[in-house]
Structure 1
Amino acid sequence: MKMLKSLAFATLAATVAVAAPAQTIKATIPTAQPTVGLGANPITNKIYVAAPTFGGSADAILVIDGKTDKVIKQIPVPVGAANFVVVDYLRNLVYAVGCDNYSATFSCLETEINGKTDAVVTTQTILTHPGDGILGVAFDPICRKLFIANGSDSRVDVINAVTGKIVENINTSNLEPFGIAFNPVDQRLYIPFVTGQAEVFDVRHHTRIADVIVGDTNIFAAANLVTGHVFVTNDDLGVATTIVLDKDGTVLAQIPVQDNPYGVDVDPTTNKVYVANTGTGNLTVIDGKTNAVTATLSGVNANYVAVNFGSRKVYLSGNTGITVVAE
C-alpha cells in the first residue's frame, strides 16, 4: 500500500506542470543501429532505449538525458538482452529483456541496471525454449514483478524482479501473447494476441476476467493507471484501429488510425494516447477522454513509444534513431 501511495503521488505531482502546446517534433537523435523497446524515468528524466545488433556482438541500452535529448551513455549488455525495456522509477532500476535468436544455443535474458550509476547489476537466463521468445514485457512496481509475454511457450511468465526467478505461469490457452500491459492500481494484466483477441487477467486473485474478440491482429497495449482504460493497437484488415477497453475488458471504442499501428503508450496526467503507425511513418494522437484522434504527426519513423509524463515528452524508437515529440 505504501508503494501504491508513492506511485499515485508521483503521478499526481506531474500534473502540476504547465500545459504544453500542440504536439510537435522537438528533436531527432540519430543512432548507429536500429532501436527497439524503450522506457522513461519521469523522476530522473532519463530514457533507456534498447539497441540490439541482431546477431552482432555489441548490444546496448542507450541512456538519453531528457533535458538535452542527447545520448549520454551506452550500457553494454549481453547479446539478446536488448529488446524490451521497463523502468522501476520508484527504485531507480531498469530491466532489459530479450532473446538471442542468432546463436546456436537459444536463450532469453533479463538484465537489471542501476539507474543511479547506469551500470549492469546482474544478468540472468529466463527462457531457453526455442521459438518466438519474448514478445512483450510489463512491470508491477508494487509487487516488483516482471510479466513476460512468452511466445515460445504461449503463456505469460511472472518473474520476481528481486530474485530473477519465475514464480508463476499464466496460461493463455495456447494463444501467443504479444505486447502486454499492466495496471498496478487495479492489479490487472492486459494480454493482446495476434489472432485478434485480448485477455484481461486479475493478478491479485489469479483469475481470468474477460476474453475479448475484436479486430484482426492485436499487437501492443497500454494502460492508463488513472482512468483504468486500456488501448490496444490492432492492424485490422482494411481499417487499422486502436481499441479502447475499460478495466474489465468491455470495448468502449474502436478508433481508426493509420497503417500498421504498433507501439502505443499513454500519459496518465494528460490522458493522451500515442500510437506509432509503422506503415505510414507517422504518429497518431488520441484524446483519452473523448476517444477521438486529435492530431497526426508525419515524419515519425517509429515502432515503439514511451511517454515521459514528468517532462511531457514522447520518445519513439525506430530504424534510424529516436524521435522526440513535445506533448
Structure 2
Amino acid sequence: MREYRLIALIVSISFLAIILSGCFPIKIITYSISGHVKDTLGNPLSDVTISFDHGYAAVTTEASTGYWEKKGLSGTVTVVPSKDGWAFTPLERFVSATANNIDFTGTFTRKVFKTINVGKSPRFPAVNEKSNMVYVPNFDDNSVSVIDGSTDQVSTTINVGSRPQQAAVNVPLNKIYVTNYYDDSVSVIDGNSNKVVATIKVGVNPIGITVNPTTKKIYVANLGSNNVSVIDGASNSVSATIVVGNGPYGVKINSITNKLYVASFSSNKVNVVDCSNKTIVATITVGNKPANLNINVKTNKIYVSNSNDNSISVINGDNNSVIKTAFVGNGTSGIGINQKTNTIYIALWGDNEVLVMNGANDSIISQIKVGNTPHGVAVNYVSSKIYVTNYDSDTVSVIK
C-alpha cells in the first residue's frame, strides 16, 4: 500500500512539474467589460478615468458618449471611476465576467469655499498657474489686487492706470498686462517684483487683452477705435494695429493655430484674425452684443457670451461655424475654461451665479451661487480652483 501511495505522489509531482515547465500550459480565461458614465441629468461625461486593480492600465471615457471599454481582464477586478470635481455612484464595482453595463453616475461637487475681499468693482482677472498668483483689476480703485493662490489671501495691491478692465498673463516671462479703459493704455507688471515696469499707449478705450506666450505678442481690443493693438512683448511697444468690427470688446488668441478671435460688441459678430499676416480670415455671426470669449485649445472650440440675449455661442474653430447656441441665464459675462477637465465656467451677473458646462457636449451640469454681479472668471487648472470677481460685492469667490 505504501508503495502505491509513493508512486501516486511521484506521478502527481511529475505531472505538476510538466505543467510548470510549459509542456501543458494552463489557459487563462479572459473577459471584457464596458459601460457608460453620465451626470445626474443623463449627459455623458468625458475624460473620466476608469481605473482597475491588479495592475491593469486605466482607460478614459469617450467625449461624446461617455462610453468606455476594457479587454483582457481575468479573475475578480475592482473598477473605480474618477474625475476632478466629481463624485460617482457607485464608488466602485466588482466584476469577474464579461459585462456591458458597468455604468456610473457622476455628481458635480464644486462649490464656493472662500470669499476674498479685494478692491472696488473688480472686473476680469487672470491666473499665473506657474507662480500660483491671481491678478484682479479693480475698476473703481485704479488698482490690481494680487491674490496668493496658496493661501487665497491678497498679498499686495498694485496701482495702475485709470479704470483697469482686464488682466492677462505671459506665464513663461511672468509678466502681467492690464488694460486701462480711460487712459487708453496697458500697464505692464513684473510678476517677480509686483511693480509696474512699463505703460504702453494703445487705442481708445481698451478692454479685452490676450497673450500668445509662443510669439510673445499681446493683443488689445480697443472698444472706442474699432481696432486691435498688437504689442511686442520684448520691447513693450505697439508693433501693429489691426482694424476689426465695430466695438471690439473681448479678445482671445489660440496659441496653437495663431488665430485671434475678436468679439465685436456693436456688430454681433466675431472676427477671426490670422496673426501671421494680421488679416481677417472669417467673420462669424453670433448673438446680441457679444462681449467676452474664451477658447478650449484642446477641442478648438470658442465660447462667446452674448450679453444682451443671455446666451452662449459655441464656435467650431476648425470651420468657423456656430455649432450651438445655449440660452443659459441672465447677464452672461466672463468665461473661464479648465482645459484639463474640459469644463466651462460662465459668470451670470444677473443671477449672481456661475454656470457650469460640460465641454464634451456643451450641456449645463451645475449652477453655483457666488457674490453680487459676477463679472470675470479665471481658472487655475493646476490647483483646480476657479476665481470669480463679484463687481458689486468687491470680492472674489473661490470655487473648489
TM-score, shorter chain, exceeding 0.5: yes
Give the structure 2 partner of residue 241 of structure 1.
Answer: 311
Structure 2 residue corresponding to 1:111, chosen from 170, 187, 194: 187
In 1, the alpha carbon distance for the partners of 2:399 and 2:231 equals 33
Equivalent residue for 1:278? 349
* Per-residue CA distance 1:95-143 (angstroms, 9 max, x = gap): 112133xxxxxx322221111222222223334x5xxx11211111111
Cα distance in 1 for residues equivalent to 2:369 and 2:83: 25
Give distance in 1, aligned partners of 2:264 and 2:162. Answer: 27
Greater relative contact order, per chain length (Cα 8 Å cut-off, separation 6+) = 1
Of 69, 92, 96 in structure 1, the residue corresponding to residue 174 of structure 2 is 92
Counterpart code for 2:202: I
**Aligned AA (2:236):** G
114-123 or 182-191: bigger deviation: 114-123
Match of 2:257 in 1: 186
RMSD: 1.8
Q: Number of matched residues? A: 292
Identity over aligned pairs, percent: 23
Q: Please give the alpha-carbon distance, in whole angstroms, between the structure 1 residues aligned to 2:123 and 2:166.
A: 7
In 2: Cα distance, 1:178 partner to 1:260 partner: 16
Letter of the aligned partner of 1:51 in structure 2? N
User: What amino acid sits opposite 2:231 in the alignment?
Assistant: I
Q: Which of residues 29, 37, 42 is equivalent to 2:116?
A: 29
Q: Which is greater in Rg?
A: 2
Q: CA deviation at 1:294?
A: 0.7
CA distance in structure 2 between the partners assigned to 1:167 and 1:32 by the alignment:
33
User: Which amino acid is the alignment partner of residue 366 of structure 2?
Assistant: A
SS at match of 2:211: strand
Match of 1:215 in 2: 287
Aligned pair partner of 1:257 in 328, 332, 345: 328
For the residue of structure 1 that corresponds to 2:238, the secondary structure is strand
Written as runs of structure 1 = structure 2, the 5 A alignment for 1:291-302 is: 291-301=362-372, 302=374
SS at match of 2:184: strand
Which of 124, 131, 147 in structure 2 is aligned with 1:44?
131
Structure 2 counterpart of 1:299, one-letter code:
V
Give 5+ residue unaligned stretches, structure 1: 1-16, 101-106
Alpha-carbon separation, structure 2, partners of 1:167 and 1:69? 37
Alpha-carbon deviations, 1:204-226, whole Å to 9, x = none? 24332221113222111001121
Q: Equivalent residues in 2 for 1:57-72 (5 A)?
A: 59-72=142-155
1:317 aligns with 2:379: no
Give yes or no for contact 2:202–2:229 (8 Å, CA) kept in 1.
no
- What is the TM-score of this pair, normalised by structure 1? 0.84
**CA gap 1:68/1:251 in 2 versus in 1, 3 angstroms:** same
Note if contact 1:283-1:300 (Cα within 8 Å) is conserved in structure 2.
no
Q: 1:224 aligns with which of 296, 299, 312?
A: 296
**Range with greater deviation from structure 2 (157-166 or 270-279):** 157-166
